[in-house]
A and B are shown apart, each in its own frame.
Chain A
Amino acid sequence: MKLNRRSFLQSTAGAAAASTLSFPAWAEDPIGVASVHDLSGGLDIYGKPMVDALTLAVEEANAAGGLLGRQIKLINYDTQSNMQLYTQFAQQAALKDKVAVVHGGITSASREVIRPVLDRFKTLYFYNTQYEGGVCDRNQFDTGVTPAQTVEKLVPYAMKKWGKKVYVVAADYNYGQITSQWVKKYVLENGGEVPSIDFFPLDVTNFGPTISKIQAAKPDFVWSALVGGAHISFYRQWAAAGMRKSIPMASTTFAVGNEHIVLSPDECNGMLICYNYFQDLKNPTNAAFVSSFQKRFGADYPNITELAMGTYQGFRLWAEAVKKASSVDRLKVIEALETGISIDAPSGKVTIDPPTHHCVLDVHIAEVNNKKLNVLEDFPQQKPADTAAVCNLIKNPNDNQQYVIKI
């Protein structure tokens, strides 16, 4: 056979076309799962543990044979603490990678950036961070705790321990603005008062005047909803001014970014926090989880955070729903999740609450003590009552907004 240039090109082009065309027909191509988290910049203290937990969850699922006989491919996007990148990467995940689900978003601001994008391109979205509550969107599931699950427990606990006058400092974006209103609501309901709520942009590092103002107001304790690396200096300056021993502090954000390890015990001991997960929780599922986590990421891994666990549980819930639906199709998976899927997670039993797309889960109050978080009290199976008061996606599946508390 005589092979000239033209016939060679024709035959190889034909073969190449045939191979690319036939490729998607293989049943074995992996299921795409996108991770959209900040792995650098000021919010990486939150993002890194979340991606580690997601990586472990995917590897575990793949080691167990994948989902529906297919392997899972994790596609990582680093949004660099930059809101514009959230839009870009969410679009890329939905349109270019055509993933089955997006896990991601850390701050509430970033969630509100990607939520409409993923709604528009009909890609299932899991937001795995503890947040201010109220998001009502059939395309989204929220596996983090909300104020009715944590603030409602911690406010009376702290007020009983310390007193009724509460000064609130919070980060200046939707999370801090809304959460501080919840704190105020529960303080008032418990017969206390809130003399002032101060907001700080994420890059503020000088808290001197605020610390003076707090002293002038003489509260019984301070509530912190501060966020990110720069705000850590609030706790430093608070301790340096000698205030830690005279005015105690409770927080809805502290330790989520491992602040209790970054700071010295002298700067944060005694602070009260309330979350779904603590690494020291005593149950067999958690013991197994911690040991496989440390085997994967090193025994010296500082601390498995609340947000890391939210992400791990988010992936597990999604995987359960895929199994139940026998499909990765968006609507079928949503319907499977809406049957009230439940997993036995390291934090205890976690169940999807169908009307709100949030979770029913255990919460715990803990105290910071020498770089550890000691659990003081447990509250089993808390419902997302704040979102449930305003949101019912079973009755109104087309609802799509974030409800904001009014006081």
Chain B
Amino acid sequence: MDLVVLVAIQVLYAIASLALISVGLAIIFGMMRVINLAHGEFLMLGGYAAIVATSNGMSIWLAMLVVAPIVVGIIGVIVERTIIRFLYGRMIDTMLATWGLSLFLVGLTTAMFGNTTVGISAPLGSFQIGAYRTSVYTLFVIAVATGVLAGIYAVMRWTRLGLLARGTMQNANMAAALGVNPPRVYAITFGVGAALSGLAGAVLAPVSGVFPTIGVAYVAKSFITVIGGGAAILSGTASASVLFGTINQIATFATTPVFGEVALLAAAIVLIRLLPQGITGRFFRRGL
């Protein structure tokens, strides 16, 4: 029985980490149709921001939850203003540009921090479930993911900013005619997407460590999740994370991590074959 609880926590954790690493991409890709191949590097930068801040004596919580998103958010706005804004509607060109950006960021961080794994110890200790132990940090990651998804829902649903963002994404010309400044909305949206990626990278840093090329490990999974989720940002990311996270973790537990990854990819292929528009192309269509 306690093993079931433990596995359930692991499954929730897998879902939460998938949702965390994908949600920033979902906002940038889903709302702005920009394929950001530098997404993994935004996560990596978040991890470095948190580790640098912590090693300079800042509280780990402040470093992860405040510093990392702000730093990466600012980087995101700079990237949007200097590169992305010239390329809206040119999908292939944005892919090339963000791929170049990704290589540049990997090179830059390698030059600054060296190509070695750095990390911080996970805070919070562990707790007992019957005969088993697991880390409290696992629960913290689940809580952060839940908080982020709830926060996005609240902003999109109930604030003026969310309304303007949704309106601009649906029809930028109409929004402009009604007095909205679309370039500003784009910049803010891109910045928010980047900030959420930074937050995810920081929150996962104590678990996986950080090195300049860690983005590669994240970017494929986040794209699979976002594409599998389909058009609706929030319900898409959430439902795809639940599906893939559960399959991945149960397969891992039953066999090995290798088969866990294979199962996740196989599930993604089957899903895209059956539902080319992603989960929200068929279900939860009216979700956010």
Chain B nearest CB, measured from A102 CB (Å): 23
Which of B13, B14, B132 is close to A215, meaning CB atoms less than 8 Å apart? B132
Closest to B115 in A: A40
Report A314-349 CB contacts with B as 1/0, cut-off 8 Å: 000000000000000000000000000000000000
- A232 and B135 contact, CB distance less than 8 A: no
Return chain A residues, CB-CB under 8 Å to B252. 209-210
Chain A nearest CB, measured from B241 CB (Å): 14
Q: Is B193 an interface residue (CB 8 A)?
A: no
Give Cα A212 to B138, complex, Å: 13
Closest to B258 in A: A201
- A246 and B133 contact, CB distance less than 8 A: yes
Q: How many residues of A are counted as interface, with CB atoms below 8 angstroms from the partner's CB atoms? A: 40
Give Cα A203 to B249, complex, Å: 17
- B207 and A205 contact, CB distance less than 8 A: yes
Q: Is B281 an interface residue (CB 8 A)?
A: no
Q: Which of B1-44 contact A (CB under 8 A)?
A: 3, 6-7, 10, 13-14, 17
Q: Is B137 an interface residue (CB 8 A)?
A: yes
Which of B207, B256, B257 is close to A233, meaning CB atoms less than 8 Å apart? B207
Return chain B residues, CB-CB under 8 Å to A237. 122, 135, 207
- B213 and A41 contact, CB distance less than 8 A: yes
- A205 and B7 contact, CB distance less than 8 A: no
Q: Is A32 an interface residue (CB 8 A)?
A: no
- B256 and A229 contact, CB distance less than 8 A: no
Q: Which of A230-246 contact B (CB under 8 A)?
A: 230, 232-233, 236-237, 239-243, 246
Chain B nearest CB, measured from A332 CB (Å): 40
Give Cα A237 to B211, complex, Å: 17
Give Cα A88 to B95, complex, Å: 31
Of A42, A246, A267, chain B has the most CB atoms within 10 Å of the CB of: A42
Return chain B residues, CB-CB under 8 Å to A203. 217
Q: How many residues of B are counted as interface, with CB atoms below 8 angstroms from the partner's CB atoms? A: 41
Return chain B residues, CB-CB under 8 Å to A92. none
Report B227-259 CB contacts with A as 1/0, cut-off 8 Å: 000000000000000000000010011001110
Q: Is B271 an interface residue (CB 8 A)?
A: no
Q: Is A67 an interface residue (CB 8 A)?
A: no
Give Cα A207 to B260, complex, Å: 12
Which of B117, B127, B213 is close to A45, meaning CB atoms less than 8 Å apart? B117
- B206 and A236 contact, CB distance less than 8 A: yes
Give Cα A264 to B123, complex, Å: 12
Closest to A204 in B: B257
Report A34-46 CB contacts with B as 1/0, cut-off 8 Å: 0000001110110
Which of B6, B118, B126 is close to A212, meaning CB atoms less than 8 Å apart? B6
Give Cα A266 to B3, complex, Å: 26
- A242 and B206 contact, CB distance less than 8 A: no
Q: Quick one: given A40-B115, A209-B252, are A232 and B209 in contact (CB under 8 Å)?
A: yes
Give Cα A45 to B135, complex, Å: 27
Q: Is A59 an interface residue (CB 8 A)?
A: no
- B134 and A262 contact, CB distance less than 8 A: no
Of B117, B119, B137, B211, chain A has the most CB atoms within 10 Å of the CB of: B117
Which of A41, A209, A243, A263 is close to B257, meaning CB atoms less than 8 Å apart? A209
Closest to A244 in B: B126
Q: Nearest 9 pairs between A and B by C-beta?
A: A242-B126, A229-B117, A240-B135, A205-B208, A240-B122, A242-B133, A209-B253, A209-B252, A40-B115
What are some 24 contacts across the A-B interface (CB < 8 A)? Answer: A42-B117, A44-B115, A198-B257, A206-B207, A208-B134, A209-B7, A210-B252, A212-B7, A212-B253, A215-B6, A215-B133, A229-B209, A233-B207, A233-B209, A236-B119, A236-B122, A236-B206, A236-B207, A240-B122, A240-B135, A242-B126, A242-B127, A262-B118, A263-B119
The chain A residues found within 8 Å of chain B, CB to CB, are 40-42, 44-45, 172, 198-201, 203-213, 215-216, 229-230, 232-233, 236-237, 239-243, 246, 262-264, 266-267
The chain B residues found within 8 Å of chain A, CB to CB, are 3, 6-7, 10, 13-14, 17, 110, 115-119, 121-122, 124-127, 131-135, 137-138, 206-209, 211, 213-214, 217, 249, 252-253, 256-258, 260
